[in-house]
Every structure is written in C-alpha cells, then in structure tokens.
Amino acid sequence: MNRAERAVAAALRRDRPLSRFLRRLTRSVSDAGGAAFLAGGFLRDIADGKPGADVDVMVSGLSHGELGEALDALSRMRLGIRKVVPAGRHFPVYRVATRWSGRYVDVATARGAVGSTVRVPFASALADASRRDFTINSLLYVLLPRGNRLAGELIDPFDGIADLTGWTIRCVGAPGDRLREDPVRALRAIRMKNERKGYRIDPGTWRAIRSLAPSLLPAVSAERLAGELVRSLQADPAGTLDDLCRSGILRALLPELARRRLGTARARCRFASLARSVRGPVPPTLLLANLLLDLDFGEAEAAARRLRLPNVRRVLSAASDLRALRRTETMRHPLARTEQILRRQEDPDVFIALYRAAAACDGVRGKDLKRFIRLCSKTPYFIDGNDLQRMGFPEGPEREEALQAIREAALEGKIRGREEALEHPSLRRRRNRPSGEDRTRRS
C-alpha cells in the first residue's frame, strides 16, 4: 500500500458516516453487477494530503437507471440520507444529501465505455478514467466492502500520483483530444494551476491550450466560462490574467481589453496591488470590475453581458463607481457623491484598496477615503427625503439634487444644523415657486 492509498484509507476510517454509506452503496451496486470507485477531486485532494471536498463516486457496470435502483435500495433512515436528486446537465449524476454532512455525495455512472465494455466493471472504469480531463483527476479507488469495514485499492492508470508529486497539470492522453471534447478544460487547467501554488501546466498541454483554446472557447456557453474565470481570479487574479494573456484566451474572450496596449498591464498592476494590501478574499464583483475598468462604459457593458458575468449589474456599477472616483473634479457635488458611492459598496475596505491600486497605476496620489468615511460618520443628516416631500419636492431628480446639495454643504462644514439646512438656497428656490393651486388661480 503506497502513501496515497494509505491516506485515502485513513480518511475513510476517520469519517465513519461516510464510510458506512459507501460500504452499503458498494454492496448494493455489487449485488446489481457493478463496482464502485472513489474518483474526482475528493480522491485527488486526499491523495495530495489535503482535506477532501465533495465526494465523487463513480459506478461502472450499471446503467443510469440501474444505479438509481441501487440507490433506492439503501436504507435512508439508517444511513442518514435526506434525499437523492438526479442532476447534471452534461453528465447525469445522482446528488445524495445527507444528515451527517453539509456536502453532497455525487454518484454517477462511468463515462466513455462503449459496446460490451459497458458491462465489464473494471474495463468500464478504466474507460472513464481515460476520458477525464487531467491525470491528477484520473485516479480511482476501488471500494471493497469486507464484513463491517470498508477496504480499497488505489488505481493510477495515467501516472496521476507522479503528477501530484511533481505539481503538474497534464491532460490525460492526447491534450488536443481532451480539449476538443470539452474546451472549458483549457480554462480549468489555468484555474487549477492558480489554485495550487507552485503547480505548472505540462508543456504539451500548454501548447494544445494555446493552439486550440482561443478558437474553441467562444462557442462554449458563457455561464460555464464565467464560472471557471471567477474561480481562477479568486485564487490568483494576477496569475490568472497572465495565463489568459499568454494563452491567447483573453484576446478571444475579452478583446476589448486585450487590444488596449496598456489595458492588461494596468489590470495586472491593480491585481498585484490588491494581493499586497488585502489579506482576505476579494469579492468576485470587484475582481471582474477590475477587468472592465480600462474600458469605456459602453464597451464594459457589452463585454459583461456577452460573457454573462455573475451579478453583472453590480460588476458594472463597481467599475462605473471606480471610474467616477478617478474624476471627482467633474462631479457636481463631489463630497456627497463620493459618500454615496462608498455607502453602496458591499465591502468598502476592499473597494478602497482597489481605488488606491487604480490611482497608483495612474501615477497619482489617491484620496484618503478611509479618513473621508470617518468624516461622513461624524456629520449627521439634517434633512431627508420625507422632509422634502412635505415641502412639495416630487420624487425624482429635483429632490435628489436638493439632497445632494445640502449634504455637500454639510460635509464642507457650511451648515451645522437642521435650521441652517432648511434655509439652504436649493430649498428657498422651491419655497418661492408658486404652487399648482396658485398658478391656476392667477391664470
């Protein structure tokens, strides 16, 4: 038994509810003529010495319907199964929700087997492994129930353990074949590299990505592309942008940024600055907004909607707000407007960090917005929209303009109380204007 096999066996012994579920599932599958294997990211992470995430079970030798019957035969009460839900748009899978874990157990049939191979469990399992994306995801751990315990054996048909040890992302078999089967694997390779510090993409796989991905990826659904892009940016934004540029993928997916001579360099500079100044995670909306920051509003909106970016309105709003803060001299009420922008951010500290990064890349000294927030917190609101409504201001731009003007004066220290606010010129003009009844009487 090698180190990786011992690690998987130890993880299963520690997780008794999972081990019990897998033991009963394996027996049910075996009785139906199939075999069960651990596969996917859970097995990869355990073999790599990391905590496993969601559990993936691959069942060979059974059809999807037969697998459903094997799951139905399990005692839900005894095994703590809450529900079993058929799912999966691209590959049918049963998602098993349990009472003993917040994670799902995904159970699916083997992929890639054809003809008589479908009914030969180990041949079917190896065919499935041969169609996996990367060698580190092609590991299999055959589950063997022995009495009241669960045993197993690690199967490594494509040297995935060697690539885990060598910190390498490498396609299974011919890289071009794997990318043509699913072009998103190109983005997934970049994401996995950036999620794992020190990992590299195998040269042969990288050549295939550069050759094929720019032409194949535009035909993939935007939602799948955006999901991989966001996850990779969350792991390492600057590294992700570098890889997208070097592979030619950025030019295919976001040509508006790629064709700007300094656009990608500036976006990378801001990402690097964020990594130095922000210790926690950066909200995806700000990571995506940074990619759009050097585009004008029309370009940014067209790109964001074409790529189906998640929370697209918030992404565009954040990018627009950052552009506005870089040009406060053009604002009618700069202090009030700046406060309004900062108040609507979901994470003001990270937003300010990105603002500072943008200012540094512009070669200017940014404003001390944290000090400005403290000033705002000490300056009360002397009147609000309800006051203006009672004074006859209809809801709309006129009321908003009056509120902004009064708030600007308050932040400048020109008014210090409610009485002074009520005497502000923007309100006097409204009070001196004849009402609708007066205008009717005069006419």
Task: Give the pLDDT confidence score for residue 327 in this predicted structure.
Answer: 87
Residue 121 has pLDDT above 80, yes or no: no
Please state, for a pLDDT cut of 70, what percent of the chain lies above it. 94
Per residue in 80-89, pLDDT tens?
A: 999 999 886 6
Q: Which DSSP string corresponds to 72-106?
A: HTS-HHHHTEEEEEEE-SSS-EEEEEESS-SSEEE
Task: Give the pLDDT confidence score for residue 113 in this predicted structure.
Answer: 53
Per residue in 23-43, pLDDT tens?
A: 999 999 999 999 999 998 889
Task: Give the pLDDT confidence score for residue 439 in this predicted structure.
Answer: 42
Question: What string of H, E and C letters represents the secondary structure of 262-312?
Answer: CHHHHHHHHHHHHHHHCCCCCCHHHHHHHHHCCCCHHHHHHHHHHCCCCCH
Q: How confident is the model at residue 435 (pLDDT cuts 50, 70, 90)?
A: very low
Is the C-alpha dihedral spanning 10, 13, 17, 18 positive or negative?
Answer: positive
pTM of the model: 0.86
Residue 119 has pLDDT above 70, yes or no: no
Average confidence score pLDDT of the chain? 89
State the amino acid at position 431 in one-letter form. R
Per residue in 306-342, pLDDT tens?
A: 999 999 999 999 999 999 998 888 889 999 999 999 9
Residue 434 has pLDDT above 80, yes or no: no
Residue 293 has pLDDT above 70, yes or no: yes
